[in-house]
Structure 1
Amino acid sequence: MPYTVVVAPDSFKGSATATAVAGALAAGWSSVRPDDRLVLAPMADGGEGTLDAFDVAVPGSVRHPITVLGPAGAAVDASWLSLPDGTAVVELAETSGLSHMPALAPLDAHTFGFGQAIAAALDAGATGLLLAIGGSASTDGGVGALAALGARFADATGRPIRLGNRGLGTLARADLSGLPALPPGGVRILSDVTNPLLGTTGAAAVFGPQKGATPEQVAGLESGLVRLARVLGGGQVPGARPVRPGTPGAGAAGGTGYGLLAWGAQLAPGSAAVGDALGLPALVRTADAVITGEGRFDTQSAAGKVPAYVSQLARDGGIPALLAAGAIDAETEGFAAAASLSALAGGAEGAMAEPERWARAAGAALAATVR
């Protein structure tokens, strides 16, 4: 009998968008089971592609182009999204993400442009903010974004510190009283990262190497974040909300989670927020199977990322969840079947060179498992 299959992958970062992956998986599936009904629901978890997911999911959304200071110091053309209810969605990856780095600069990359986009949304009258903070190029603790919004961070002489984590090494005082008031609908941080700010599972240790940091530079990044936590956590900073460095999610986006929490923002599960906007829970309840995936399925995937969220919806609905990923580096318990693009392509290089081709092959391989 024909199946109804919901196809809800995340983007394959640096390789293919969630929309492209969903289309390729569906094409591959249909080549094996042409009578099945495929429902495409490209997903995001607060990282790259979150703005696109909301744009597709919410009728009446409007994109607003903006030019900001990128993480490497050059101008970046980006956008933010207004929803019909007055909420604005701002994506850090669009303004301050790794894709805007011509060369990785872990000590100097910053989030100033992200703050500029937030300020633009507030100036336009946004009544609430959804801040998607995945894909950051920096480890600046969110200081760049807060500075763009009106906060002051100074050295011992009272001079503003330079942007980036390198500037945190001279941080002596801060003043957050210049930040705008939170909008009536509040500020929610969309992230599925639960890492704290500091320590072996913190922003520098876990994510610093992904942004190009050597072991020595990781130690420097950690030192800068320790200094930031000491200054903001002393209870003497005007306008700052008290935030413990150990708060789950404070380490998201190079500590941007910590900085936004000090403004008064609240953490929210990114996958669930996007899924609700898409109406994904209702779609899954009417389906016979669901396909999800991401570029690399590893031990962090279980911590609320798109595959974990979608597979939980499938379990709740009593239907099988199938996984397609660029690479699979963890046990796929909870999935009825799994397909690795790298395995199908004979290596990661081939899979990344032609992601849609191998996503189609993965869709066909998963369809062949249905009996």
Structure 2
Amino acid sequence: MKVVLAFDSFKGSLTAEKAVEAAAMGVKDALPTAETVCLPMSDGGEGTTETLVRYTGAEWTTCKVHNPLMRPLVSRYAIGTNRRVAIMEMAAAAGLTLLQAKEQNPMKTTTFGVGEMLLHAVRAGVQHILIGIGGSATSDGGTGMLAALGAKFYINNCVIECPKGGDLIHLTSVDLSSLDAFHNVQIEVLCDVSNPLFGFNGAAYVYAPQKGASSEEVKLLDSGLRNLARLCKADPSIPGSGAAGGLGYAFCLLGAQLRKGVDVVLETAGLATHLHDADLVITGEGKIDSQTLNNKLPFGVMSMARTYNIPTIALAGCVANQDLLMSAGFHNVVGINPSDSPLSEAMKPEIAAHRLRKTAKEVVKEMLLNDKHQAK
């Protein structure tokens, strides 16, 4: 029996690599002779750079940038062996995890450090940039990044050197003429969502509350993003424009290509090759629900496995909308935690690894048992 294990991280608990290791041990517990293929993955969110570095052999480098509150930060990204391709993620400069909970407020945060990271790469001779844009602390429409690259944002006649989310509603004019040089740089943006820039399915309403915004601030941020689109006149409905608080929209202004992060990761990891002769695929991440069907890794893995008629089981710390997920094509979707398990307990890495191993063992044993019944 050949089992392909393709997991994203269990955020705050297990890295993708640790999740794959635990699931592989569970498969071996159920069937010691099983062949396991371990593929730690991501979908454009945090951990994307590590995933792509693992499969490409790119090398890490560091640069000095500013975090979402403009405090100095040493960030890192990777450069390919040919020195012409950079792999990075916005969360390394403007991620939510860079701030304490009490500091999180997208009215006051900026993507300026993302622009600094891009500049560092281009000055090093990079001509092609792959950047994952999940996990942001921001809702500034990418204006901070653009300002770091030379764009000018005005409130009346005053230049806003480092625009933040709360500034967007007050902007009166924009000068993007200094960005022309970046049109010669190929940029591929890896998105893990497909939201438009504004509206009830846009960057502010869907994601700003997770970043510390109040209901009133969400309305102001959404109005600000609308104002930005009015001033810049690029299409705000492009899928992914609302990713990372509108950073996807700013990348469109740079002429970047927005891609599904999961597609790039699956392609780089060679999942299609590993699926040949596979009998079962097990995937998963920390939470699986209806949002999983919106370009998340488990759905991407299942969709590819389905083209080879290989059943896919998804495991997660938290599961919702199970019927919807199974109707979408999953063979089964299973939560690893008991229903009465406290979250603080479930998030402990050693407990999560043990439960993931145990659940993987159980689902494989159930598959083997069903195969025996069918054989009779």
Q: Name the structure 2 match of 1:168.
A: 168
C-alpha change, 1:245 and 1:320, in structure 2 (3 Å) is same
Match of 1:248 among 199, 215, 239: 239
**1:365 positional shift:** 2.5
Distance 1:345 1:185 in 2: 52
Distance 1:26 1:183 in 2: 44
The ranges of structure 1 where at least 4 consecutive aligned residues each deviate by more than 6 angstroms after the TM superposition are none
Unaligned 5+ runs, structure 2: 369-376
8 Å contact 1:293–1:307 — kept in the other structure? yes
**1:291 positional shift:** 1.0
C-alpha change, 1:32 and 1:344, in structure 2 (3 Å) is farther
Distance 2:303 2:366 in 1: 20
C-alpha change, 1:230 and 1:161, in structure 2 (3 Å) is farther
Q: Which stretch has the larger CA shift, 263-272 or 154-163?
A: 154-163
Unaligned 5+ runs, structure 1: 234-242
8 Å contact 1:149–1:180 — kept in the other structure? no
Q: Helix, strand or coil: the match of 1:343?
A: coil
**1:340 positional shift:** 1.0
CA-atom RMSD, angstroms?
A: 1.7
What is the TM-score with the length of structure 2 in the denominator? 0.91
C-alpha change, 1:268 and 1:150, in structure 2 (3 Å) is same
Aligned ranges 1:1-371 → 2 under 5 Å: 3-59=1-57, 61-85=58-82, 86-103=84-101, 104-160=104-160, 162-179=162-179, 181-182=181-182, 186-233=186-233, 243-331=234-322, 332-333=325-326, 334-343=329-338, 346-354=341-349, 355-371=352-368
The letter of the residue matching 1:175 is D
Aligned residues: 359
8 Å contact 1:109–1:139 — kept in the other structure? yes
Q: Deviations over 1:160-212 (max 9, x none)?
A: 25432012132111111212524656211101311111111000010111112
The letter of the residue matching 2:24 is A
The letter of the residue matching 1:365 is E
C-alpha change, 1:58 and 1:183, in structure 2 (3 Å) is farther
Q: Deviations over 1:304-343 (max 9, x none)?
A: 2101110011101111101011211122312222221333
8 Å contact 1:342–1:348 — kept in the other structure? no
Distance 1:250 1:182 in 2: 19
8 Å contact 1:72–1:100 — kept in the other structure? no
What is the TM-score with the length of structure 1 in the denominator? 0.92
Q: Which stretch has the larger CA shift, 50-59 or 283-292?
A: 283-292
8 Å contact 2:7–2:39 — kept in the other structure? yes
Q: Helix, strand or coil: the match of 1:323?
A: strand
Indicate the percent of aligned positions where both proteins have the same amino acid.
Answer: 36
8 Å contact 2:87–2:129 — kept in the other structure? yes
**1:358 positional shift:** 2.2
Q: Helix, strand or coil: the match of 1:169?
A: helix
C-alpha change, 1:115 and 1:185, in structure 2 (3 Å) is closer
**1:261 positional shift:** 0.3
Q: Name the structure 2 match of 1:240.
A: none
8 Å contact 1:92–1:114 — kept in the other structure? yes
